[in-house]
Amino acid sequence: MIRLLTEGIIFPIRTIQRRRDVPAYARESARIDREGLPPADPGPERVVEEGMAWLARAHEAALGHGGGIARCFSLISGWSAPYPETTGYIVPTVIEHWHRTNDPEWRVLARRLLDWLVSIQMPDGAFQGGMIGQEPVQPVVFNTGQILIGLAAGVREFGEAYLTPMRRAADWLCEVQDRDGAWRRFYSSFAAPGEKAYDTHVAWGLLEAHRVDPYRGYADAALANIDWATQTLLRPNGWYDRCHLSVPERPLTHTLAYALRGVIEGYLYQRDPRLLDAALLTARGMLSALRPDGYLPGRLDSEWRPATSSACLTGTSQAACCWFILYHETGDPQFLRGALAANHFVRRTIALEGPPEVRGGVKGSFPVDGDYGRFEFLNWACKFTVDANVQEMSLRRAAVPVGAMRSREIA
C-alpha cells in the first residue's frame, strides 16, 4: 500500500485510479458532481438532522474496532477504522445536539465516545496520530489538542470523571511546548514535519481546558502559541506560512481555517484587539476567494488565489463557522453573507436520499474526485458542516434577517 503524505488520504487511490478499478458507483458520483449542483437547498435543519444521523452510523461502523467514529466512508474501500483526533472534537457537537433535541441517546453517545478516548490515552497523557491500526503509533501534539477539546467538554458536561484524563493531556502539551510557544516535536508522521500555524487549534484545546480547570497555566501556554503564530507566520495579507499538511505553497482551506479559528478563540478569551486584527486579516483574505455561489477553492496560494479546481468542503464549512463568529463580534455584513453563501453551497452537495453510508455525509471534495479526501465522506467534514448550520439556525432564531442576504449579494 502506498501511504500518501496528503491531506489525510491513506488509501492508494491514485494507484487504483490508474488501474481504472474505481467502482462504477464512485465514477458515477464523480460524473454527477461535475455536472453541477442541484438548485434546491434543503435548509440547515434537514442537513443538521441527517448529518448527525450519519455521524451516529459512523460510530456504529467503528464498533468493530472498539469505538470512536470511523474516519470516513470511502466509495472505493468502505468504512474506515476510527479516528481518535476527530472523534475528540466531535464530542462537543454531539453534546450540543443532545441539548437541542433532549434525546438521551445523544448523551449516551457522547459518553461512549469519551470513554473510548480515555481507554486509548497513552501513559504520558498524549494521544496517537492517525487511525486505530495505523503505524506508527506515537504521541502527536495536534491530535492530542483536538481530543482535549472533547475532554474539556466532557468535564463541563459530566463532571470529574474526565478531569484527570483532560489534565494529563493538557499537562503533556504544556511539557512538550517550546519556550517561544511553538510545538516542534511530536508532529504527525502523516503530514510534513515541523511547527505549524494551525497548531493554534491545539491552543484552543488548552483554552477549553483552562475554562474548566483554571490556575494550571493552560491559558498561558495557549496564548504563547497564538502569539508565536501571529507574530512569526502571519503575512500582512492574512496568509500563514507553514500552514500546510504537504504542499507549503498551496495550503488547504481546511488548515488555513484551523489556524484562523485558533486565533479567533484566543481573541474571545483574551479580548486582545491585536488578535482580532490578525483574525480579520485572514478571514477577509479567505472571503476574497469565495465565489458568489459559495464555492471556495480547496487550496489557496499566498495571494489568496485559487490553487486547485475542487472545493475542500471541510474548509468551506470551517470558514463559515469563523465568519459567523466574526459577524457576531464585528457586525460586518460581509462575514454574514459569506457564511450564508458557504453553507448554501455545501448543503447542495449533500445527498439526503440513498444508501445510509452516504446519506447525510459530507464529501472531502466537491467534486467527489477532487484532491482532498478523494471519493471519501469524512467525519470531520460532517462535524464542521453541522456546526456551521447550527450557527445559521441560531441566527435565524435571533431574528437576524438572513433571508434577505443571499449569496448573490456578496461583493
pLDDT tens track for 289-343: 999 999 999 999 999 999 999 999 999 999 999 999 999 999 999 999 999 999 9
| Domains defined along the chain, listed by start | 57-232 (1.50.10.10), 237-411 (1.50.10.10)
Q: pLDDT-derived band of residue 156, with 50, 70 and 90 as boundaries?
A: very high
Closest CA to 72 of 365, 317, 367, 363: 363
Q: pLDDT-derived band of residue 401, with 50, 70 and 90 as boundaries?
A: low
Question: What's the length of the chain?
Answer: 411
Share of the chain above pLDDT 70, in %: 92
Q: pLDDT-derived band of residue 124, with 50, 70 and 90 as boundaries?
A: very high
pTM, two decimals, is 0.93
Q: pLDDT-derived band of residue 13, with 50, 70 and 90 as boundaries?
A: very low
- Overall average pLDDT of the 96-108 stretch: 98
Q: Please tell me the distance from the alpha carbon of residue 13 to that of residue 351, in angstroms, as a whole number.
A: 23
Which pLDDT score, from 0 to 100, does residue 190 have? 81
Average pLDDT, the chain: 92
Alpha helices (runs of H) in 74-139, residue ranges in sequence order: 84-101, 104-119
Q: pLDDT-derived band of residue 109, with 50, 70 and 90 as boundaries?
A: very high
> Residue-wise over 197-220: b if at least 16 C-beta within 10 A, else e?
bbbbbbbbbbbbbbebeeeeebbe
Query: Which comes out higher in pLDDT, residue 133 or 247?
Result: 133
Which pLDDT score, from 0 to 100, does residue 302 have? 97
- Overall average pLDDT of the 253-273 stretch: 98
Does 5 have pLDDT greater than 50?
Answer: no
Query: Which comes out higher in pLDDT, residue 369 or 189?
Result: 369
Region of residue 132 (phi > 0: left; psi between -120 and 50: alpha; otherwise: beta) = beta
What stretches of 130-172 adopt beta strand conformation (E)?
none
- Overall average pLDDT of the 185-197 stretch: 88
Question: 216-234, pLDDT tens digit by residue?
Answer: 999 999 999 999 999 999 9
Which pLDDT score, from 0 to 100, does residue 20 have? 61
What residue type is assigned to position 97 of the chain? H
Does 119 have pLDDT greater than 90?
Answer: yes
- Overall average pLDDT of the 105-117 stretch: 98
Closest CA to 149 of 86, 70, 66, 74: 86
Q: Please tell me the distance from the alpha carbon of residue 92 to that of residue 149, in angstroms, as a whole number.
A: 8
Q: Any idea which residue has 501511504 for its cell?
A: 3
